[in-house]
Amino acid sequence: MSTIPKRSLSEMIDLLSHQFSQMESMTGRGVFKDLTMKQVYYLETLGQMNKPTYGEFATKLGLSKPSVTAIVNKLIKGGYVQTAQDKDDKRSSRISLTHRGQEINKIHRDMHGRFAQHIATILDEEEQKAFANSLNKIIYSLL
């Protein structure tokens, strides 16, 4: 059995970040190559919402409507999202994922699932609970 090297928290975060970047660049044979990680996050958020308006999406992201308009326009150009006029309020448009956007979300979810499975194979049940509790504390502190 090999010895696990001792590293600082900063070094571990750097290594983990690098590993995520490598996994994402390899996943789907470069399917993420035209997207930034923020754009992947935006697609993921849209996928969790039910065809939001620009205002709803802006609120969810904590951004201004002009910022969201720029984000959505880039995603439209990439073929990841589309907009359609709201049936009830003709002044509003609804944002939805295209097939391509849905595929990106599926690949991204699958990648996260594989990572979770990997963690489950290297940590026993008690370590998994401690890891989950630690991540929850970190995430809660960031919100």
Q: What is the pLDDT of residues 30-63, one digit of tens each?
A: 666 788 889 999 999 999 999 999 999 999 999 9
Looking at the chain, the whole-number percentage of residues with pLDDT higher than 70 is 90
pLDDT at 25: 62
pLDDT at 20: 73
Q: Is CATH 1.10.10.10 what the domain over 21-142 is classified as, yes or no?
A: yes
Give CA angle at 135 (64, 105), nearest 5°.
55
Q: Which residues does 55 contact at the CB level (< 8 Å), separation at least 6?
A: 65, 92
> Is the pTM higher than 0.85?
no
Query: Is residue 80 exposed (0-12), middle (13-18) or buried (19+ Cβ within 10 Å)?
Result: buried
- Quote the radius of gyration of the chain (alpha carbons, Å): 19
